[in-house]
Structure 1
């Protein structure tokens, strides 16, 4: 029986270095050059372009494994959309989260009409079961698109006023994206933005525990479990700290 190739086959740097660089990029507000400097401090000489290629290649793979391994999503969808500017052109980032704030899916689109809402519903259904309830603002595109999707036609739909802050679960989920947008001085290419944000939300949330609700000992225990899971996702056979 032939042994399958390593995930990092053909890469000059060890898996621990690549995994650590990718995690830093999606978990923290660090630029590619920041990561280059942190690696240099650890005697790893690599260019920021190499870090970018690592993130492009491995980010989506790791995020997919994180999503596959996490708990079953909640039965309530909270949907909202936010404007982002890419090279001076306005786009809409559609986002779905469950009642616990876990990101279900995102989709970057040019429009805010029924066709865009329908496309987003179908996109979320590809990876999530049919919900029990959908919560949205009063955008008319949502009910019009929902009525044309058989799986969602009978699902309860709750409308809230955006100004009433009732849909804070979805509104608050935009904050990390806004922070990252400012740190990166804006997004640029639509495809790269979609790819980055699809991985960013999942990897960030994997480590972003609700620390204020946990005792210090329990927080450390849960964080250690998240790191152990990350090592499995990234196929690490040793503690990354020993690789530097």
Structure 2
């Protein structure tokens, strides 16, 4: 069954709008006008519903493309996101090179939320992919949580917990770039809708950082778009595209 059955628009058009919104930090109303200029009349509320449905699905389908830390030295921190006038907490982890490892939006900032986040970040990683160093701020909850995860065998016993402020500059800078995408949003109404939208922002940031570069055959923005489209079965498979590109290159060399 098609992922876009009963939708008003074709799948490539829907993904096009969702990608633009999640990658460029524009308002729904601005995107409505931009899409209309391309001959696709669509209401901003329709784009909103598309983002809510397909941004989490894009993140889910592409997780395995990018979620492999390039370093075992992690930087963990949380930033603030306002939801219905109240501050919520977006937990985020990057490696020392700034590559996104994982994220988690919580209504609370406590040991339970921190443990849920770190457990999520560790889940599915091979032993050699798990961190050997985690740097955090001075919040005491992280030390408690890391000790619990060690006792449960979910992270290495030799893991070192550091609380060096300047080492977290890389994750704080990454917060700022994410906030640029969040800024045009005219207020999140619920934690669910906020998390769904942020999933789209985060996954498009990982593609922009080049974390799925091995799947970006053209090494450009179009290649990023094709990664998303292929995840939904739109167009040729990555193997077919690679063969076609190779044939074109060989033809060009012999011409």
TM-score, normalised with respect to structure 1: 0.81
Which residue of 2 is the match for residue 82 of structure 1?
79
Cα pair 2:111 2:145 within 8 Å, conserved: yes
Which residue of 1 is the match for residue 135 of structure 2?
135
Question: Unaligned 5+ residue runs, structure 1?
Answer: 211-218, 239-244
Cα pair 1:19 1:234 within 8 Å, conserved: no
Pair 1:119 & 2:116 matched = yes
Structure 1 stretches of at least 4 aligned residues deviating more than 6 Å after TM superposition: none
Once the two structures are superposed, the pairs formed by residues 132-211 of structure 1 within 5 Å of their partners are: 132-149=132-149, 150=152, 151-152=154-155, 154-162=157-165, 165-209=166-210
In the superposition, relative to structure 1, how do residues 182 and 228 fare at CA in structure 2: closer, same or farther (>3 Å)? closer
Which residue of 2 is the match for residue 236 of structure 1?
234
Once the two structures are superposed, the pairs formed by residues 89-100 of structure 1 within 5 Å of their partners are: 89-100=86-97
Cα drift, residue 192 of structure 1: 1.3
Pair 1:110 & 2:107 matched = yes
Once the two structures are superposed, the pairs formed by residues 33-48 of structure 1 within 5 Å of their partners are: 33-48=29-44
Q: C-alpha separation between the residues in 1 aligned to 2:45 and 2:11?
A: 17
Cα pair 2:122 2:155 within 8 Å, conserved: no
Cα drift, residue 188 of structure 1: 3.7
Q: C-alpha separation between the residues in 2 aligned to 1:54 and 1:161?
A: 41
Which residue of 2 is the match for residue 11 of structure 1?
7
Cα drift, residue 100 of structure 1: 2.7
SS at match of 2:148: coil
Pair 1:25 & 2:25 matched = no
Task: Judging by fraction of residues, say which structure has more helix.
Answer: 2
Cα drift, residue 174 of structure 1: 0.5
In the superposition, relative to structure 1, how do residues 229 and 110 fare at CA in structure 2: closer, same or farther (>3 Å)? closer
Q: How many residues align?
A: 224
Cα drift, residue 133 of structure 1: 2.1
Cα drift, residue 161 of structure 1: 3.5
Bigger CA drift: 201-210 or 45-54?
Answer: 201-210
In the superposition, relative to structure 1, how do residues 6 and 111 fare at CA in structure 2: closer, same or farther (>3 Å)? closer
Cα drift, residue 110 of structure 1: 3.2
CA RMSD of aligned residues (A): 2.5
- Cα deviation code 1:18-77 (max 9, x no counterpart): 111011011111111112111111121111111111111111111222222236223232
SS at match of 1:64: helix
